[in-house]
A and B are shown apart, each in its own frame.
Chain A
Amino acid sequence: MKCQFCEKPATFHITELTEPTGPQVMHLCEEHAKGFLHKGASSPMAAIATALAKQLEQSGDDLEELDQKECPVCGITFKEFRNSGRLGCPYDYTHFESDLRPLLVNVHDRTEHLGKSPHRSAGTADSLARMIKLRSEMDEAIKQEDYERASEIRDELKSMAAPMQPPHSDTDDQS
Chain B
Amino acid sequence: MKRDADFQQLARYTGEWMRGEGPESDIVISTRVRLARNLADFPFIRRCSDDDRLSIERTVRARMETIADRLWESAQYVDLEPLSEIDRQLLVERQLISREIAESEGSRAVAFDASEGYSVMINEEDHLRIQVMRSGLDVENTWKQVNRIDDMLEEVMLYAFHPRYGYLTACPTNVGTGLRVSVMLHLPALVITEQMDRVFRSMQRINVTVRGLYGEGSQYTGDFYQVSNQVTLGYTEAELLDLVGKEVAPRIIEYERKAREALLKNNRDDLHDEVSRAMGILSTARKISSEETMHHLSKIRLGISMGLIEKPNVKIINQLFLQSQSAHLQKLQGRILGTAERHARRASFLQQHLSGKDDATWN
> Which residues of A are at the interface with B, using a C-beta cutoff of 8 A?
18, 38-45, 47-48, 73-76, 84-90, 92-94, 100, 103-104, 107-122, 125, 128, 131-132, 134-136, 139, 157, 161, 164, 166-167
Contacts and interface: CB of A to CB of B under 8 A. Distances in A.
A115 B231 contact: no
Nearest to B162: A93
Interface string B145-171: 001000000100011111111111011
B163 A107 contact: no
B234 A132 contact: no
B41 A135 contact: yes
15 contacts: A18-B204, A40-B210, A45-B173, A48-B172, A88-B47, A89-B43, A107-B172, A108-B175, A108-B234, A110-B235, A111-B234, A112-B233, A114-B236, A121-B158, A134-B41
Interface string B211-240: 100001100000000000011111111010
A114 B125 CA distance: 23
Interface residues of B, number: 54
A81 B167 CA distance: 19
Contacts of B235: 110, 114-115
Nearest to A90: B160
A117 to B, nearest CB: 7
A57 B166 CA distance: 29
A45 B65 CA distance: 35
A109 B161 contact: no
Given A113-B167, A114-B234, 5 more contacts: A44-B174, A47-B230, A113-B233, A115-B179, A117-B166
Nearest to B201: A18
Given A41-B204, A114-B235, A139-B55, A120 B171 contact: no
A110 B125 CA distance: 23
A88 B46 contact: yes
Contacts of A40: 200, 209-211
A76 B44 CA distance: 11
A111 B235 CA distance: 10
B234 A110 contact: yes
A109 B234 CA distance: 8
The 4 closest A-B pairs by CB, nearest first: A110-B234, A113-B166, A44-B173, A90-B160
Interface in B254-285: none
Nearest to A107: B173
Given A18-B204, A90-B160, A157 B171 contact: no
Contact of B158 (A94, A122, A136): A122
Contacts of B232: 108
Contact of A118 (B41, B46, B154, B165): B154
B209 A43 contact: yes
Contact of A89 (B47, B162, B166, B204): B47
A87 B171 contact: yes
